[in-house]
Amino acid sequence: MFYPKSGEIILLRIVKILLILSVALWGILGLFHNLIDWGGSIGAVNATTSMATVEGGTGHWKATTNPAVIFAGAFFIVFFKLIVTLTCFGGAWRMWKSHGCDAATFATAKTLALTGCGVALFMLFTGWIVIADTWFELWRSDVLSDAALGSAFRYGGLIGVIALFVGMHDE
C-alpha cells in the first residue's frame, strides 16, 4: 500500500487552499461586478422575472415586474456572493494556518471553506435552477438560457468538484 510522504501531503493541502481561494476570488469578482453594474444586475433579474425573453412570457401569470421582487433577487445574488467570499477567504486562512498539522486539525480547518462552497452551490442552484429556470421558465429563453443557465451550471459544477476535492481526507 502506498502512503504519501509528509511533503506530498503538504503540497496537496496547498493545492486545496489555492482552490478555495479561487472560489473566494470568483465570489469577490462577481460581487464587485454586480455592485458596480447594479443596473445590469437589476436588469438581468428583471429580464428573468418578467419572462420578457420567453415567447409569450410577459403575459404569463408567473411573470412579474414587481420592483420588490426584482430587488430581492439582485440582493440575494450580492448577499450570497459576499458570504461565499468571506467564508472561503476565512476558510483558506484557517487551512493555511493548519496546513502543517495533523489530518484531524486540517480537516477541522476546512469546515468554513466548505461552508462557503456550499453557500455558492445553494445560491446557484436555488437562484438559477429552481427560481429562474424552473419557476420563471428560463429554459425556454433563446437569449438567456445558455448565457445565464450555462454559466450557473458551469460555476456550480466546478465549485462542487472543488468542494469534493477539498473535502477528501488527506491521509
Answer whether residue 58 shows pLDDT above 80: yes
Short-list 109, 99, 83, CA closest to 23: 83
State the CB neighbour count (10 A cutoff) for residue 58: 13
Q: Residue 104 is part of which domain span?
A: 6-52+61-167
Q: How many domains does the chain have?
A: 1
| Model pLDDT for residues 7-28, shown as the tens digit of each residue | 889 999 999 999 999 999 999 9
**DSSP assignment, residue 72?**
H
Q: Is residue 19 part of a domain?
A: yes
Whether pTM > 0.95 for this model: the answer is no
Q: Is residue 1 part of a domain?
A: no
143 — pLDDT class (breaks 50, 70, 90): confident
d(CA 88, CA 85): 5
Answer whether residue 140 shows pLDDT above 70: yes
